[in-house]
Structure 1
Amino acid sequence: MNVGEVIIEPRRIPGDPKIGHPVLLVLFEPYLELLRNVLKFKKSAWQRLRFPSMSYCTMEVEGKTLSVFGAPLGSPQAALVLERLIAMGARKVVAFGCCGSLYPTLKTGDLVIPTHALSEEGTSAHYPLPDGLRAKADERVTRSLMKNCLENNLPWIAGKIWTTDAIFRETREKVSRYGQMDILAVEMEMSALFTVAVYRKISLGGLMVVSDELAGSKWKTGFLNPFFWLNSRKAAKAAVAACLDL
């Protein structure tokens, strides 16, 4: 008996779509409606994945096939969704979500392209990577995101982010220390997505919009800031274009 052998392997189940095209994995539920408006499809076009319960829509955009899935919350669910997508055939994924800034100069509505992540979530440790491999964004997907942000006149900053399981335990000490370590922002899924993607040998990158600011003396939310939604819409268009380039 191989004690390291897993008991349940991810697989396609009856009713699952077959995916041989890029996927836009949405990590913030309101972005599903944003993307529906950007891509101009009807609400009735949304379908439901049974396990885990998830909205998705597959469509033709500029002569190419694209699927939008979302929206998992936190690393365990994000990893589960990615495993299921891979079992359905997905090999190229762009994750699109939002994040909290750890830099005083990184403001609401600014764009972050994560390249690596500090993992403070419990999922990644269950995916041991071979020696010489580390969890990171796929270079081709990242280049596509950078290119399409530039073409849409969207400045971005690329670098390391922090992934946490505990949104209500983001302490001032950690925000200060990680900011001094040049960690740009905090969110709840990317390190696990990077790890699963590298473990399963698929291509995945991410685009994040700053939704709130943690580096000041007080938490500054941006969810009601019109500029957050304006740039989120522009970022959604860039994320779609990046998918179509893959």
Structure 2
Amino acid sequence: MYITPTPHNEAALGEIAKTVLMPGDPLRAKEIADAFLEDYTCVNTVRNMLAFTGTYMGKKISVMGSGMGMPSIGIYSYELFHHYDVDCIIRVGSAGGISKKVGLRDIVAVMGASTNSNYASQFHLPGTFAPIADFSLLRHAVEIAEAKGLSIQVGNILSSDVFYNDLPEDSFTWEKMGILAVEMEAAALYMNAARAGKKALGLMTISDHLATGEALSSDERQTGFAEMIGLALDTAVTME
């Protein structure tokens, strides 16, 4: 464990919980704290990457933005795991559907995160690393979702470095390998967790579909995301 605070996080050691939910948008972190956490306090405002710590069902939980893309979540998740002794990070966010197996509002529990990123090169591995979720978290989330009657899909997604792709059709070539959806952060989170010996899981709501052009309205996103956040929190508090 290293010295805190860091250049990116002003929280003191102990102000961040062992379990952290990470949406991409720091303002969504504030919305989650407002809607779900009790007695929360803001523990980080550096670069406006807001972080809050409170309780949910009596358990200490933190929620912190990760920013967009693997370099950003790579920094914040690394510091949480190594500087703040966080044990578990659950990424909560949106994803664009690729496969016909997923539809709008579906929750995807990310079993594996394929990527077009070079993030893994830093580890100097003699082959290709497969970033995967912590199985205990994944299984627990799926069991809770099924008990609650939520529409959940489990599988592989694409963590892409590119949002505006010069060859948009590239996204659909991943479907033939069973890729369900695309987002931009999970692979880096899973790699950092593996390297640190910690736990990570990605839960995504399908907010739009690349094949059909369908997309949720802002109100529909709010409702769908609330179900996903509730699932993430229920998974976090019932793991122990």
TM-score (ref. length: structure 2): 0.86
Name the structure 1 match of 2:24: 27
Q: Does 1:54 align with 2:49?
A: yes
C-alpha separation in 2, matches of 1:145 and 1:199 = 23
Q: How many residues align?
A: 233
Counterpart pick for 2:109 among 113, 117, 141: 113
Q: Distance in 1 between matches of 2:166 and 2:101?
A: 19
Which amino acid in structure 1 is aligned with residue 20 of structure 2?
A: V
SS of match in other structure, 1:46: strand
The 8 Å contact of residues 55 and 71 in structure 1, kept in 2 or not, is answered as no
Corresponding residue of 2:225: 232
Unmatched 5+ stretches in structure 2: none
On the 8 A contact 1:145/1:239 being kept in 2, the answer is yes
**Aligned-pair CA distance for 1:179:** 1.1
1:197-212 aligned within 5 A: 197-212=193-208
Deviation at 1:38, TM superposition (A): 2.7
2: CA distance, partners of 1:170 / 1:132: 25
Select 2:155's aligned residue among 143, 152, 159.
159
**CA separation of 1:140/1:129 partners in 2, compared to 1, >3 Å: closer, same or farther?**
farther
Give the superposition deviation at 1:99: 0.4
Taking structure 1 as the reference length, what is the TM-score of the superposition?
Answer: 0.84
- The 1-side partners of 2:84 and 2:126 are apart by 24
Q: Is the 8 A contact 1:109 1:229 kept in 2?
A: no
Residues in 2 aligned to 1:228 and 1:62: alpha-carbon distance in whole angstroms: 25
**2:214 pairs with 200, 209, 220, which one?**
220
Alignment RMSD (CA, Å) = 2.6
User: Bigger CA drift: 121-130 or 180-189?
Assistant: 121-130
Q: Percent sequence identity over matched residues? A: 20
* Pairwise CA distance, 1:234: 1.2
The answer to whether residue 59 in structure 2 is matched with residue 64 in structure 1 is yes
> CA 1:163/1:151 → structure 2, altered by over 3 Å: closer, same or farther?
same
Letter in structure 1 aligned against 2:105 = G
Conserved? CA contact 1:210–1:228, under 8 Å: no
Give distance in 2, aligned partners of 1:169 and 1:226: 28
Shift of 1:97: 0.8
Distance 1:128 1:150, change over 3 A: farther
| 1:100 aligns with one of 92, 96, 103 | 96
Kindly provide the CA deviation profile for residues 46-67 of structure 1, in whole angstroms up to 9, marking residues without a partner as x: 33253x6521111122221111
Quick one: which of 4, 16, 32 aligns to 1:12?
A: 4
Moved over 6 A (4+): 130-133
The corresponding residue for 2:146 is 150
Structure 1: 5+ residue stretches without partners: 1-8
Per the alignment, residue 185 of structure 2 pairs with 189
Which deviates more from structure 2 when the two are superposed, residues 27-36 or residues 227-236?
A: 27-36
Instruction: Give the conservation status (yes or no) of the 8 Å contact 1:116–1:159.
Output: yes
Moved more, 115-124 or 166-175: 166-175
- Contact kept, 8 Å, 1:100 with 1:211, in 2: the verdict is yes
Q: Is contact 1:129–1:199 with CA below 8 Å preserved after alignment? A: no
Describe how 1:79-98 pairs up with structure 2 within 5 A: 79-86=74-81, 87-98=83-94
Greater RCO, 1 or 2 (C-alpha within 8 Å, sep 6+)? 1
Secondary structure of 2:12 counterpart: coil
Partner of 1:73: 68
1:29–1:203 distance in 2 versus 1, CA, 3 Å: same
Instruction: State the match for 1:3 in structure 2.
Output: none
